Every structure is written in structure tokens, then in C-alpha cells.
Copies of this chain bind each other. A is one copy, B any other.
Amino acid sequence: MASQTPTDPAATSAAEPQTLPDRTNPADAPQGESKNAAKKAAKLAKLAADKADKANKPKQPKQPKEGKQEPKKAAKKKDSGKELIGIDVEKESDFPEWYHQVLTKGDMLDYYDVSGCFILKPASYFVWEEIQNWFNVKIKSIGVKNASFPLFVSEDVLQREKDHIEGFAAEVAWVTHAGNSPLEKKIAIRPTSETVMYPYYSKWIRSHRNLPLRLNQWNSVVRWEFKNPTPFLRTREFLWQEGHTAHLGEDAARAEVLQILDWYSDIYEHLLAVPVVKGQKTDKERFAGGLYTTTVEGYIPATGRGIQGGTSHGLGQNFSKMFDIKVEDPSNKPGEEKKPPLYVWQNSWGLSTRTLGVMVMIHSDNKGLVLPPRVAETQVVIVPVGLTAKTTAEEREKLNAEIEGLAAVLQAAGVRVENDQRDGYSPGFKFADWELKGVPLRLEFGPGESAGHFVSTARRDIPGKEGKGSIPIPELGTAVPALLETIHRDMYNRANEQFTTHRKVIEKFEEIVPALNDKNLVVVPFCLAEDCEDQIKKETAKKQEEISQSGPEDVKAPSMGAKSLCIPFDQGIGGAEITAETKCINPKCTRSAQKWCMFGRSY
């Protein structure tokens, strides 16, 4: 049993020992799974969690003043009169508070006393490790090697590439002292490692035979943002991988950019059950100092906002010229005049723990986390059920032995399974606890199941009766892995359905804001020019302000303007083809449209 969890109901036993049944007293033993027992247990859990929460909040870490850390507690709502287990706000009514509770009560993350920094607890770090394992195999298959470069970068080197540093300057954290001694020169903490690594690429790459040079590192970077932090999505320190490669030719570089982007897409779709759209960033949105940026873009249905999921940049020769990374032309022949040296073509690509935030925002619900099965640390939990005060000790022992057998079968089939033998908790309590933690599949096993040679199943992704079923014991080792795959597919399909139905092709400018207000992203014909993009953002934000004067209902809607998210590779997304006659969506723009471009409010 994982015992290190603050949301473990046992955590509150010190505060309220008398409310928890004690297994040593048979009269007070767990009460089977009657609806009332489950409800009672859930209420206790909520009460206890609230108390623990209050007890903890003010005690330890103080919040620094700049940047608000934890979202304000919304007044407790019993919105629709529905019973709220563990999570005490609804995703639909207070998304930020819901997100906060799902992460903390679901045991993924905790808030830290340095604003903008967060603790990744084992449940979330496990998902990150799964992503690491999967991606390492892929990149190593094409010859990328892992390495480790320092956390620090000197001021001189950091500022060598002007456009690049401009993109980060305001967010760079500076070390100025060691102990009580001021440093001779202040030293930056890397916001990304282009400038950390490329002086050495210049040193190491002496000939075309040293190419391609392909290094990756798993590390953390620091960007001291002053906007409100959001766990996983906007944090001052975050974990990521950053790949940095150098190629002799443009084509090889481009092929790699796209290969990596495909793998980023696979991480979202195949591991996290999250659909994404692949495309290229507009000039306005591309990486500072780079040539072009490709991206995978996701969609958060609850807020109707787009979210950048990972970027793979073609840097061109910009950095190689700045950092003098060049080789002799291999086509030079002895005796002939030498051609000019060739500057290498570089790429950089990064994927961060933002992945985890997207996964949680999309799948989770008002009962807590819903984890996609391929990356869930615990894929299946077995809960003993149907025990009453009349059950004898031998019957209990027999049942537990059977359950251990079931767990062994599943482990042998490669399933990550927990056997919840905790004393002193009713099945209903345990159900709610595991639902909070998002375990994809619950198996229930009691005297009835034992007699009938089956296990009862309850899917986390489908609440209520529809998600229930049973599996004959002899089929357990094959049926459970198959069911986990079905859960993955269904989770993906539901998220994809949400995404596709909320991606509106729009050709009239005035339809953009209403579409955004209906939580859509929009796909519009666009000229691709930067000034036009600025104008669209401004106009869609302004329109919003105008609308919001009309009534209190609209005031709640965000006034954020639409940003370009990407130019989808699949231009079929726009339906009709862009022709020379297609005008840019912006009525104030006189240019022709170049591409269908996806716009939206975004993170």
C-alpha cells in the first residue's frame, strides 16, 4: 500500500479517531458496500480532508508577495445539489479551484513556499518517468545521446544571440552571491540551453565527420515569470527535455524537426490519450532566434482554450553563425580553391511537464483525477467487498488469499496493481479515495464474486452503471490488459470528439468572438503577417470588452484576444482550399490569405 499520501484518509485519524471504524472491534467493522455506507464514508472523507487542509494551510510555508500562489478558495458551493466527493467545487463552475484540488487531493502535486515552484509528488513524477522512458528509446534509435550541461550561464555568453535573449531577458534569474561573498560577475540560471551548449558545439564540431551532433538533456530550467503561476502550465522552474542538434544540411535538419514533432504527438496521443494538432507557428509566435517552429497544440474543453504542447524548432544557421559553428565544405578537392566554410543547420526541441497539466485538465472530473492507463502508476486497484460483521476471520482470510492470487495474476500480465487491504475503512471510502487518485480500473471482490468465479469491474473514466462490468477469473490476465487499452482508446476518442467539435472553421471576422465565447478554437484564412496577427488579437479582445458591457453574464467571460496557435500541417482542416482569391480573415487587412490558421484563446 502506498502510505505516503496526504489525501490518504488515514491522514486525519489523529484529528478524528472516533469517526473511523476500528477493525479490532467486530461490531464496528466495515459495512459492506451499501449506498449509505459509501455516502457516509465519502462525507467523512470530505470533512476530514477539509480539516486537514485547514490545519496545514497556514502552518508551514509563507507565500512571498509577488505573484499569487494558491488560487483563492471559492466559497463552498453545493452548485447543483449534487454530492461532491473530495473535490468540493465543480470543474464547470470554478475551473482554477477545481484544478488546484484535483492536483493536491489527487496526490499529484503540492504548492511550495517559493512562489511559482511546485512539488511533483510520486504520482505525477511517475508519469514523467514513463514519458522519459518512452522518448529515450525513440531518440536513442536515431542516434541522439543524453548528456548534462551546467545550470549556469555567464552573462556574456547568454547575451551573445540578441534576438534570442530578448525573448528571455525579463525572466532570467540571477545568482549574485555565494555565501556572503558577492560574485565578481553575476551568473544566470539557464532559461533554456542554446547559449549554454553552442560555444561547445563550436569547439567540438571540427569536420563534417562530427555531424550530425545530437544531444539531449533531461533537466530543469528557470523562467521567472511574473504572471500568475499555474501548476505544470506556468511555473518558474519546470522539468523538461531539451534536444540540441547540428546537421550538415538543411534537409536532414528539417527531417529531424518533423520526426521529433511526430514523437511529441505520440506522447500526447499514445501515452496521455490527448489529441493534438500538428503545425507550424506563425512568425510572430516562433522561437526567439530560430528560423521556424513546429508545434503540437492541444485544447482544454473546460475553458475552451488552446495550449501549446511541445515545440520542435528549426534554428537554421542563425545560432551557428553567432557561435561560429562551421565545417570545411566536404566537397573541397585537394589542389582546388577552397569553398567557403559551411555553417551547420541546428535544431532544438523541448517537451516539459506541461504535458501532465494538459492530461489532468482534459480527463479529470468532479470526483478527482482520471489517469490514462498507460502512464498511471497504479493501473488497477482491487478492493475487498461484501464483508459484514458476520463474516468470520477464516472467511476474511480466504478472501484475502484469493485477492492476493488475483493480484499475482495481474502482475504476471504486466499490470501495475494495488491490493487495498487497509484495515478500518469501508469499501465506499476506498472507492472514493481511489477515484480521487484517478486509478483507471477498480476491481471489486467479495464472497459473491468468489462463489461466482468472477471479479466486478468499475472503470474510472465512465461513472455510474455504464462503467461497471465483470470478468470471469480465468480470463483476468487477458481481459484486464485489454480493458485498460479500451479505456485508453475511449478516453482519447472522447477528448478528440471534444476537440474536433470545438474547432470551428470561420470565414467571417465577426463570428470569431462568439465562437471563442462558446469555447471554440477557430480555423481561419490568414495572411500570416505579424502586424495583422497583432490586430486580430487586439480586435478580438476589444470586441469582448464591448460585449461584456451588455450584462453580468458576459462579464464573467475572459476578455483575452485570440492568438494564433499554429498553421496546421493538415490544411484539409479548413475544408475548402485557400486560393489566390481567398482574403485574409481580418477585414482591415487587404492581403490574400496564405493558409488556414488555428487561432484561439490560449494558455
A positions within 8 Å CB-CB of B: 2-6, 8, 10-15, 17-18, 52, 56, 59-62, 64-66, 110, 112-114, 117-122, 125-126, 128-129, 145-154, 156-157, 169-180, 183-187, 189, 199-200, 202-204, 206-207, 209-215, 219-220, 222, 224, 226, 237, 239, 327-328, 334
Pick the contact of A119 from B12, B110, B200 — CB < 8 Å?
A: B200
> Do A4 and B204 contact each other (CB < 8 Å), given the known contacts A121-B147, A173-B178?
yes
A210 and B10 contact, CB distance less than 8 A: yes
B15 and A206 contact, CB distance less than 8 A: yes
B179 and A186 contact, CB distance less than 8 A: no
What would 18 more interface pairs be, CB under 8 Å, given A6-B206, A117-B151?
Answer: A2-B145, A4-B145, A4-B212, A6-B210, A10-B207, A11-B204, A11-B210, A13-B206, A15-B206, A59-B202, A64-B154, A114-B153, A122-B146, A129-B146, A150-B237, A151-B237, A169-B179, A178-B226
Number of copies: 2
A206 and B150 contact, CB distance less than 8 A: no
In the complex, A156→B61 CA distance in Å?
A: 10
In the complex, A129→B217 CA distance in Å?
A: 12
B150 and A122 contact, CB distance less than 8 A: no
Please give, as numbers and ranges, the residues of chain B lying within 8 Å of A146 by CB-CB distance. 122, 125-126, 129
Pick the contact of A117 from B64, B152, B226 — CB < 8 Å?
A: B152
Please give, as numbers and ranges, the residues of chain B lying within 8 Å of A125 by CB-CB distance. 145-148
Nearest 4 A-B pairs (CB), nearest first? A178-B224, A10-B209, A122-B145, A117-B150
Query: Closest chain B residue to A239 by CB distance?
Result: B148
Please give, as numbers and ranges, the residues of chain B lying within 8 Å of A189 by CB-CB distance. 175, 189
Min CB–CB distance A415 → chain B (angstroms): 16
Min CB–CB distance A354 → chain B (angstroms): 14
Pick the contact of A174 from B12, B157, B175, B226 — CB < 8 Å?
A: B175
Please give, as numbers and ranges, the residues of chain B lying within 8 Å of A220 by CB-CB distance. 151, 219
Min CB–CB distance A44 → chain B (angstroms): 15
What are 17 A-B interface contacts by the 8 Å CB criterion? A4-B212, A5-B210, A8-B209, A14-B206, A52-B206, A56-B203, A59-B202, A60-B203, A117-B151, A118-B150, A120-B148, A121-B147, A122-B145, A150-B237, A174-B175, A175-B175, A178-B224
Min CB–CB distance A531 → chain B (angstroms): 27
Please give, as numbers and ranges, the residues of chain B lying within 8 Å of A118 by CB-CB distance. 150
B150 and A207 contact, CB distance less than 8 A: no
Query: Closest chain B residue to A156 by CB distance?
Result: B62
> Do A114 and B206 contact each other (CB < 8 Å), given the known contacts A119-B147, A120-B147, A212-B3?
no
A210 and B175 contact, CB distance less than 8 A: no
B175 and A173 contact, CB distance less than 8 A: yes
B173 and A11 contact, CB distance less than 8 A: no
Query: Closest chain B residue to A136 by CB distance?
Result: B129
Min CB–CB distance A291 → chain B (angstroms): 22
Pick the contact of A154 from B114, B187, B207, B212 — CB < 8 Å?
A: B114
Most chain B beta-carbon neighbours within 10 Å: one of A2, A128, A178, A212: A178
B176 and A172 contact, CB distance less than 8 A: no
In the complex, A206→B11 CA distance in Å?
A: 5
Pick the contact of A3 from B112, B178, B211, B237 — CB < 8 Å?
A: B211
Min CB–CB distance A523 → chain B (angstroms): 36
Min CB–CB distance A172 → chain B (angstroms): 6
In the complex, A4→B14 CA distance in Å?
A: 59
Min CB–CB distance A348 → chain B (angstroms): 16
In the complex, A66→B156 CA distance in Å?
A: 17
Pick the contact of A185 from B64, B177, B178, B215 — CB < 8 Å?
A: B64
In the complex, A65→B334 CA distance in Å?
A: 44
Please give, as numbers and ranges, the residues of chain B lying within 8 Å of A175 by CB-CB distance. 173-176, 189
> Do A209 and B177 contact each other (CB < 8 Å), given the known contacts A117-B150, A220-B151?
no
Min CB–CB distance A580 → chain B (angstroms): 45
Query: Closest chain B residue to A13 by CB distance?
Result: B207
Please give, as numbers and ranges, the residues of chain B lying within 8 Å of A157 by CB-CB distance. 61, 113
> Do A186 and B177 contact each other (CB < 8 Å), given the known contacts A13-B207, A212-B3?
yes
Pick the contact of A12 from B147, B173, B207, B219 — CB < 8 Å?
A: B207
Min CB–CB distance A411 → chain B (angstroms): 13
B204 and A6 contact, CB distance less than 8 A: yes
B202 and A60 contact, CB distance less than 8 A: yes
Please give, as numbers and ranges, the residues of chain B lying within 8 Å of A183 by CB-CB distance. 66
Min CB–CB distance A131 → chain B (angstroms): 13
Query: Closest chain B residue to A213 by CB distance?
Result: B4
Min CB–CB distance A173 → chain B (angstroms): 5
Pick the contact of A179 from B2, B172, B215 — CB < 8 Å?
A: B172
In the complex, A185→B61 CA distance in Å?
A: 14
Please give, as numbers and ranges, the residues of chain B lying within 8 Å of A176 by CB-CB distance. 174-177
In the complex, A215→B6 CA distance in Å?
A: 14
In the complex, A153→B149 CA distance in Å?
A: 22
Please give, as numbers and ranges, the residues of chain B lying within 8 Å of A328 by CB-CB distance. 13-14, 17
Query: Closest chain B residue to A186 by CB distance?
Result: B177
B11 and A150 contact, CB distance less than 8 A: no
In the complex, A60→B65 CA distance in Å?
A: 40
In the complex, A186→B174 CA distance in Å?
A: 10
